[in-house]
Structure 1
């Protein structure tokens, strides 16, 4: 597939740009540029309202599948507009360029929804997709556990069937993004007693509003904020099983294929804006005259261009895999792992250069950098601190290299 933008995409881009300009210039102007990495705590109430605004405009779920309206004119029975892959990219790019608020609902829209479309029943789709499309229900992901982060197959959270036919979940999850705001959690749990590794797992949908049965404890990060959480389940009731009992590993791995697709391009637009900010700092501080630093900035710029071309090429070759239009092939998994290796290390180096550009003053927080409190971090400091985790979360670099080696290159599995 040759990936490129056409005349219809240009019309769609103008529509998206005007809609964002109008909405972000009014009620939601206070959360423009807010809610990103390291500032997830800012304007949560308004950003939840923003999710509903996106839903009313039909901008949630553009990549879920065919609603029968080329160009997004008609909506499916789930409430989403249907657009092609290039227009999904257009929307993601314009959203990032407009500095629209950090999304509260991206886990439901970009992870759960494609998983239900691929593995769920029609009853499950009709129950869960419309509230996501309206921006009304938020989701979190219950995968990682203490001792079972990168090695997810060693998880110990279990679920037992109750007399009413529903499952009772017991165990602990960790690094659960936005669990303190979520209405629902999709949980990978062991439903077959005595099973090991990939066998005997199920993909469960758990409502978070279960006082006494679910305890959410925020994890304070280097940035001082708490996007991540520990979640304790003590007999919590699961509403549904997706893909069948015992088939959770296949469903979970399918979901990870959706995690990196069109959204990667929007992420790169955000990276581009961060890089521009660092360049502005280099001009203001005189650091641009340092040949080593200026060389590193040029290298970062060139590598960002390469990442974009790689992402566009990969989307074209996969025909949309990773955005709800397919997925699961070894080469698709390998492409996602390559992309994660590229951007994780790149973003980390950008954070390091951002502080080097400022010199010793970069280590001092306060009003010098345009923030309100002497103890408040500014955008560049948050970038440096938050990006320390980029090579760990979402699959560590070591795991990504193992995936490429074993599932793409066919090399033997590394022994512990």
Structure 2
């Protein structure tokens, strides 16, 4: 049965009340510390009513929504100012990866708990010496009897401090280099041999983490795809990362822009021109996302990341000298929304694949240009 915007809007209006009413607008990048436990409760409420994993096939617990229905859901969710989701990595990255590439046993074990928001996930890709260049991963894993034993370090791991599991890209073929010899492992976080150290950010908050694996273990059957074939699995996961949900993200961007326009001096011609340009660029982003139907993730990432970073800079110009004043630097709550936007959006063009990496992908995979020489 088709899902309509009015149905989604009505459900949100009826349920985002009472103990959940105060969650409106909370959470999101740079603000994941806001009412985390309450947002987790809200997301489990969504799950109980069938509103988590709406894009998943029905046979795997989802609603099997069409592209247009997914757009409607994400946009209406954002228009309702509903709180930022806490299980993005499980629902939108690992879940689709397991649906396409996991074994029947892996799907039966993990998908129901992701849909019910009973287990939270993080992503173990980047390392101190392998940021956007994942082919340089050095974290290793070796089979000992019936378990993988993992040693190494990951960094910039979002929400690792609250995660139950991590999907880890590790080198399982000794002596291998580059894309070869990597495996995609599912690793429990709450065990001896796993240490999580929060990274304090410019905003004073700590949603990114370092993760150290020192003899951590996971079952031999918890490798997605073939051992040594993890690169293809990891790339499949990244392809899901910037799908249709970015259209909901753009609703939030428009709200930020409209609020900033309301603060700006209407007599400042240069500032008004810059705000008008931002509005046009945002409309172009939406048109591109709808036209490509989420199939052009690198271009989409370049567009939104650069736009949002420029919006943060524009917010500082709108607020003038006041933008430089903070109460202290000990807590993210000391910053107002525009200061937090400016500081955290500096990372937009880096995390999830830097602008430089996105341009390489577009050049090589879309335009067919020669691969960049890598020493």
State the TM-score, normalizing by the size of structure 2. 0.95
C-alpha distance 375-235 of structure 1, shift in aligned 2 (>3 A): closer
Q: What is aligned with 2:188?
A: 207
Alignment of 1:304-343 (within 5 A): 304-315=282-293, 332=295, 335-343=296-304
Counterparts of 1:257 and 1:38, CA distance in 2: 23
Q: What is aligned with 2:313?
A: 352
Counterparts of 2:291 and 2:364, CA distance in 1: 23
Counterparts of 2:315 and 2:304, CA distance in 1: 16
Please list the CA deviations of residues 235-292 of structure 1 after superposition, one character each: whole Å capped at 9, or x if unmatched. 111230001111100000011111111111011111011111111111xxxx221111
Alpha carbons 1:300, 1:346 under 8 Å: kept:
yes
Do residues 288 (structure 1) and 266 (structure 2) align?
yes
Do residues 396 (structure 1) and 354 (structure 2) align?
yes
Q: What is aligned with 2:239?
A: 257
Unaligned runs of 5+ in 1: 1-7, 68-75, 316-321, 323-331, 368-372
Alpha carbons 1:51, 1:103 under 8 Å: kept:
yes
Counterparts of 1:236 and 1:195, CA distance in 2: 21
Counterparts of 1:196 and 1:398, CA distance in 2: 22
Counterparts of 1:55 and 1:143, CA distance in 2: 28
Counterparts of 2:52 and 2:111, CA distance in 1: 10
Alpha carbons 1:79, 1:134 under 8 Å: kept:
no
Per-residue deviation, 1:415:
2.2
Do residues 278 (structure 1) and 260 (structure 2) align?
yes
Q: Which deviates the most, 244-253 or 373-382?
A: 373-382
Alignment of 1:11-410 (within 5 A): 12-65=4-57, 67=58, 76=59, 78-163=60-145, 165-210=146-191, 212-239=192-219, 240-282=222-264, 287-315=265-293, 332=295, 335-365=296-326, 376-410=334-368
Q: CA RMSD in A?
A: 1.6
* Partner SS, residue 161 of structure 2: coil
State the TM-score, normalizing by the size of structure 1. 0.86
Per-residue deviation, 1:366:
5.2
Please list the CA deviations of residues 150-179 of structure 1 after superposition, one character each: whole Å capped at 9, or x if unmatched. 11100100001011x121111000000000
Counterparts of 1:18 and 1:272, CA distance in 2: 22
Unaligned runs of 5+ in 2: none
Per-residue deviation, 1:407:
1.3
Alpha carbons 2:122, 2:165 under 8 Å: kept:
yes
Alpha carbons 1:366, 1:374 under 8 Å: kept:
no
